Structure 1
């Protein structure tokens, strides 16, 4: 047996596929997850490319569920594009960490809420906002990721525009 030592910086700078392989090897060696066949196909067959309007509709459906809103906008971050046709992948553990939920089950519940919201927005029970692979990743269409990022940016611009007049309307203190 041969071993190698990598620094955290070397791992961070490694290509995405190498980082994923290292992650899977560590998880398997620690016995945290069973090794899955590398050829297992991800559940990406029914993913749809969502428009900004679709994402606005999904947001409207989950607006009162703060964790689901957080998970939705987490998927607006850049992900790793893999496969043909391409899908964007996001580690469920990263989503868990960034949204500060308690466990992956809560992340999965939020993702299922987003899937359900999209079926209602599109009025089509066969559409899927996201899918999953056997290695703990959430999969979405690249256009969906772009649409979520655009929706976030639009919301931030509207918020800034709404606050701009307030700054100008402040009365300066008398001298």
Structure 2
């Protein structure tokens, strides 16, 4: 067995996937992962899985709200999956950092806009795209994360294709 000691500055400055892995290891070593959904994540039971078509419909509804648009695509990143049934956890502070919003309240406003758009898409006021815990995490269903990631990849692919088409048109002229 090998032990490694890291300072708080080293952890704070580590890439997000490394910080998430450390957080996951600490949670697992303390035995908290097994009872996470019921005890620590009471809102997780209200989460509804979002399929790719619903993700696209939510995006269409929030497209005019650039901060919410940016927050939405934070869920294309891999999160920490744990619990039964599994949920994906994203740290609100990481979302704040990546989106360059001014404070967590702005992140929460964006997440509420996403939840409202999702409820409209589903036609169900109780449907929740995401939930929250008391430890500063945003929770989504694993299927939702995969749907947002697939949507992000489709957008990138269509932009690359459009870019190549513009280059082909310019070189033909």
Which residue does the alignment assign to 1:164? Answer: 164
Cα distance in 2 for partners of 1:71, 1:148 equals: 11
Q: Does 1:64 align with 2:71?
A: no
* Contact 1:90–1:137, Cα closer than 8 Å, also in 2: yes
Which residue does the alignment assign to 1:17? Answer: 24
* Contact 1:90–1:139, Cα closer than 8 Å, also in 2: yes
* Contact 2:81–2:87, Cα closer than 8 Å, also in 1: yes
* Contact 1:42–1:133, Cα closer than 8 Å, also in 2: yes
Cα distance in 1 for partners of 2:172, 2:113 equals: 48
Which residue does the alignment assign to 2:115? Answer: 115
Moved more, 161-170 or 118-127: 161-170
Structure 1: segments with no counterpart, 5+ residues: 22-38
Which residue does the alignment assign to 1:87? Answer: 87
Moved more, 121-130 or 11-20: 11-20
Q: Does 1:98 align with 2:98?
A: yes
Q: Structure 1 residue 42: deviation in Å? A: 3.5
Question: What SS does structure 2 have at the residue aligned with 1:127?
Answer: coil
Provide TM-score, normalisation by structure 2.
0.80
Which residue does the alignment assign to 1:140? Answer: 140
For residues 172 and 58 of structure 1, do their structure 2 counterparts lie closer, same or farther at Cα, with a shift above 3 Å needed?
closer
Question: What SS does structure 2 have at the residue aligned with 1:77?
Answer: coil
User: Which structure's residues are more often helix, by fraction?
Assistant: 2
Which structure's CA Rg is the greater one? 1
Which residue does the alignment assign to 2:129? Answer: 129
* Contact 1:42–1:134, Cα closer than 8 Å, also in 2: no
Which residue does the alignment assign to 2:31? Answer: none
Q: Does 1:47 align with 2:47?
A: yes
For residues 41 and 155 of structure 1, do their structure 2 counterparts lie closer, same or farther at Cα, with a shift above 3 Å needed?
closer
Provide TM-score, normalisation by structure 1.
0.79
Structure 2: segments with no counterpart, 5+ residues: 29-38
Q: How many residues are aligned here?
A: 153
